Amino acid sequence: MSASRRLVSAIDTFTEWTGKIIAWLAAAMAVLTTVVVVMRYGFSTGSIAGQEAVTYLHATLFMLGAAYALKTDAHVRVDIFYRRFSPTAQAWVNALGGIVFLLPLCLLIMMISSDYVRQAWRIREISMDSGGIPAVFLLKSLIPAMALTLLLQGIAEILRNLARLQQDAAR
């Protein structure tokens, strides 16, 4: 097995494993939302921490689930023309799109979020609401984490598509 295939396999395994774990956050979020609503309207009591926890779960689900969505081809795609392309043309679009758009975007997000996240960690930023979750710095850390996991899966997708193009060219 070539080095690039091993790398693609390792990234895919990591993304698959984390994606399946992260998917369970949707169920946790639904249960927690139900609890918050029942507490609010059934018992006339609120929970700022509970409401914020729903936000944290939601952010984690979508930010860290982005790489899994890319891996499983579940991301949004404007495919007016793409769906009519041959598999080789689709591989070209995917490889070039990853190189020209995805990787630079992920690197840009990591660069521009680094000071923002570093500052949040430096002051151990907490919720501005009394009774809120004292871990806003962890929530903000999802930004570069999303960019990193998406970057890794983007590399795997680019390598996979380049391998397909190489295979098609050999035919």
Q: Would you put residue 131 in left (φ > 0), alpha (ψ -120 to 50) or beta? A: left
Helices and strands in the chain: count of H runs, count of E runs: 6, 0
Looking at residues 116-132, what average pLDDT do you find?
Answer: 95
User: pLDDT value at position 76?
Assistant: 76
The number of angstroms, rounded, from the C-alpha of 160 to the middle of its chain's C-alpha atoms is: 19
* Of 71, 67, 78, 65, residue with least CA distance to 161: 71
Tell me: the pLDDT tens digits for 26-58?
Answer: 999 999 999 999 999 999 999 999 999 999 999
Q: Round to whole Å and give the CA distance between 68 and 6.
A: 18
In the chain the first and final C-alpha atoms are separated, in Å, by 20
User: pLDDT value at position 99?
Assistant: 97
Q: Round to whole Å and give the CA distance between 85 and 97.
A: 15
